Amino acid sequence: MILDMFKLDGKIAVVTGGARGIGQSYAIALAEAGADVAVIDVIDCAETVEKVKALGRKSASFTADLGSGKASAEQVIKEVIDVMGGIDILVNNAGIIRREPFVEHSEKNWDDVISINLSASFFLSQVAAAQMIKQGRGGKIINIASMLSFQGGVFVPGYAASKGGIKSLTMLMANELGKHNISCNAIAPGYIATENTRPIRENPERNKAILDRIPAGRWGETTDLMGIVVFLASPASDYMNGFTVAVDGGWLAR
């Protein structure tokens, strides 16, 4: 049956930035598909863990400052493996955004965004891929891109650079890890109603301009991303590798 190809029974998934918002929806979706889920964040993940456990799946939370370099990635993945028993799926969802005009954008804002959005995804993927290769059963790595992986945007140079980097990094990872049966793809969410986008939604002119361009005529909800993360984590996407999928209500079509 085709629906069996979307099942994640017996798989161990890791979701970064999973305490709330999009990350929490990813964690719940993977659990609903049958996976046990480890959640990594710098804030309390208890709500997500309880939601996963309520679905009958194993879950645990891990605290890590993912912007502090490879050592942090190595430590938290080791903790995940010790508690969960391995890793089959990695969702690099953790990310931040800093809004400031290009000529005024501070070095700190640039460094903070690049370290969380791009470098952390690189280091976590390195460590997770090494574990997947050791396990010998393949795996799935899902990076989180953006509309700004395709467009330039305004007032977010660090964010735009990081998300452009994610798209290219995903392709490189696919090239190198495919021989190990590890698929690497990315999700590019459109304009989703989260805390990160609250300032835009609360700006009447900016909000109207965005809605006028989206064929679906609405902001996306975090639940709109649940199907794609299950697809990319499941056997249904086994022959898909190195691609960035937009889930944007048609934004890029305009």
pTM for the full model? Answer: 0.97
- What is the Cα–Cα distance from 138 to 105, expressed in whole angstroms? 41
Token couple for 221: 């909800």
Walk along the chain (254 residues) in steps of 10 and give the mean pLDDT of each run.
96 98 98 98 97 98 95 98 98 96 98 98 98 98 98 96 98 98 98 90 94 97 98 98 98 95
Q: Look at residues 73, 71, 76, 72 and name the one whose alpha carbon lies nearest to residue 45.
A: 76
- Any idea of the CA torsion for 176, 178, 182, 185, to the nearest 10 degrees? 80
Q: Look at residues 141, 109, 145 and name the one whose alpha carbon lies nearest to residue 124.
A: 141
Please count the CA atoms within 13 angstroms of the CA of 92 that sit on its side-chain side.
36
- What is the Cα–Cα distance from 43 to 57, expressed in whole angstroms? 22
- What is the Cα–Cα distance from 2 to 20, expressed in whole angstroms? 31
pLDDT (0 to 100) of residue 72: 97
pLDDT (0 to 100) of residue 96: 95
DSSP conformation class of 119? I
Catalytic residues: 159
pLDDT (0 to 100) of residue 195: 85
pLDDT (0 to 100) of residue 39: 98
- Phi then psi for 16, rounded to 5 degrees? -90, 150
Q: Please, what are the domains in the chain?
A: 2-246 (3.40.50.720)
Q: Look at residues 63, 162, 48 and name the one whose alpha carbon lies nearest to residue 116.
A: 162
Which residues have CB under 8 Å from 190's CB, separation 6+? 147, 214, 220, 246, 247, 248, 249, 251, 252
Q: β-pairing, 36-41 with 12-16?
A: parallel
Q: What angle do CA 180, 182, 188 make, to 5 degrees?
A: 155
pLDDT (0 to 100) of residue 196: 80
